[in-house]
Amino acid sequence: MDVHIDYTNIDRVSQIIRKIGIIRDSYHDPRYYPSINCDTELQFGYFTVMVAIDHRTSTPLEVFEGYVDGEFFHGADLLYRLGMKVFEETPSFFLPKNLSMLSYEEAFRLIKFADKALWDMHVRTFLIRDIGKKVMEYYGGKFEELFNVETIRDFAARLSIFRAYEDPVQKKIFLLAKFLEGRGLIKFKDKENYHVAVDNHLSRIALRLGIIRLDDYEPIVKQIELTRDEDIKIRMTIRSAWKEVSNRSNHDPFALDDFLWSFGRKTCTREYPRCDECPFSEVCYARRNNEYWYEHRHTLTWYY
């Protein structure tokens, strides 16, 4: 599969983003995130664990959603809401020693809702344990030591030893960096190395807006499963394309990531995109072709 960046469409999309402006999230919503006043070690532990298990929450057979304390949550929102319930009840859950010895029963507090557990519950439990064990082994049992870095390059290098963060496209690494930097827990000196966290939403939007182009759209139209290498190739190209949009629109990749993730969930949705509400409708490649592609289909993974 040949995939390349369309710089003409990148210019068009960037001009619109400059006009509409985007605002970065503060990551302070108490439904999903701990107080910024709580212990730093616990904040590091919470975000490292929650991002580690923040990948596909629903399958065609199982939808992860429901009401918590009278409020409806879906997908990642429900995952983080359950995470905060655990944090409020047992903050020490997120300390490395406890993570390293995590039982399935304890893990279910994070990954089970009502009578349904997330589809890969055993994998997510393994990913959490792996974090605890390696922080204990390599960083003296302290997340603060793990994250004693000045650059995002060093941050990424340290995280790459953890199975949850081994994705070559580094979706979870940049998602975690976005949270920690946005809350002032880490100050990176190399902002030029920031990237968006490429997930299904950012992939779908890139395809539809035409900031990347494929030589053959049949695998997308027919939802033919791509190989691991093809998946990495297309997502790396998408990451580079959004980096260009970030540079040309004068918006931080982390702010752009916040905007695109929300835009993909609310406007450029997988099914029935709301084109009448879309600021990009006049430059949208998918709309011109009347072909509203889904994101590419990939092998099930914990990468994103």
Note whether residue 9 is domain-resident. Answer: yes
pLDDT digits (tens, 9 = 90+) for 191-205: 999 999 999 999 999
Residues 52 and 143 in one domain: yes
Q: What is the mean pLDDT of residues 223-248?
A: 97
Distance CA 293, CA 83 (A): 33
Residues 208 and 137 in one domain: no
- What pTM was estimated for this model as a whole? 0.96
Note whether residue 171 is domain-resident. Answer: no
Residues 21 and 83 in one domain: no
In this structure, which amino acid lies at residue 167? D
Q: Which pLDDT does position 62 carry in this prediction?
A: 84
Q: What is the mean pLDDT of residues 9-28?
A: 95
| pLDDT range class, residue 294, cuts 50, 70, 90 | very high
Residues 105 and 15 in one domain: no
Q: Which pLDDT does position 115 carry in this prediction?
A: 83
Residues 139 and 45 in one domain: yes
Residues 209 and 253 in one domain: yes
Domain with 253 in it: 3-25+193-289
Whether 60 shows a pLDDT value over 80: the answer reads no
Q: Which pLDDT does position 54 carry in this prediction?
A: 98
Q: Which residues lie closer than 8 Å to 279 by C-beta, 6 or more apart?
A: 16, 20
Whether 78 shows a pLDDT value over 80: the answer reads yes
Q: What percent of the chain has pLDDT over 70?
A: 100
Burial 70-82 (b: 16+ CB within 10 A, else e): eeebeebbbbbbb
Q: What is the mean pLDDT of residues 6-20?
A: 97
Residues 50 and 130 in one domain: yes
Residues 197 and 135 in one domain: no
Residues 10 and 88 in one domain: no
As for how many domains the chain has, the answer is 2
Note whether residue 156 is domain-resident. Answer: no
pLDDT averaged over every residue in the chain = 96
Q: Which residues lie closer than 8 Å to 168 by C-beta, 6 or more apart?
A: 232, 236
Say which CATH number the domain at 209 has.
1.10.1670.10
| pLDDT range class, residue 300, cuts 50, 70, 90 | confident
Q: Which residues lie closer than 8 Å to 151 by C-beta, 6 or more apart?
A: 188, 189, 190, 193
Q: What is the mean pLDDT of residues 24-51?
A: 97
- Could you tell me whether strands 212-214 and 3-5 are parallel, antiparallel, or unpaired per DSSP bridges? antiparallel
Note whether residue 155 is domain-resident. Answer: no
Please tell me which of 59-63, 110-114, 203-207, 286-290 the model is most confident about, judged by mean pLDDT. 203-207
Q: Which pLDDT does position 1 carry in this prediction?
A: 82
| pLDDT range class, residue 207, cuts 50, 70, 90 | very high
Whether 58 shows a pLDDT value over 90: the answer reads no
Domain's final residue, options 124, 148, 172:
148
Domain's final residue, options 113, 148, 183:
148
> Nearest-CA neighbor of 199 among 295, 278, 119, 293?
295
Residues 103 and 138 in one domain: yes
Q: Which residues lie closer than 8 Å to 144 by C-beta, 6 or more apart?
A: 40, 41, 44
Q: Report yes or no: 289 and 199 within 8 Å, Cβ to Cβ.
A: no
Residues 248 and 211 in one domain: yes
| pLDDT range class, residue 264, cuts 50, 70, 90 | very high
pLDDT digits (tens, 9 = 90+) for 104-160: 999 999 999 988 889 999 999 999 999 999 999 999 999 999 999 999 999 999 999
Distance CA 1, CA 170 (A): 21
Note whether residue 185 is domain-resident. Answer: no
Residues 45 and 104 in one domain: yes
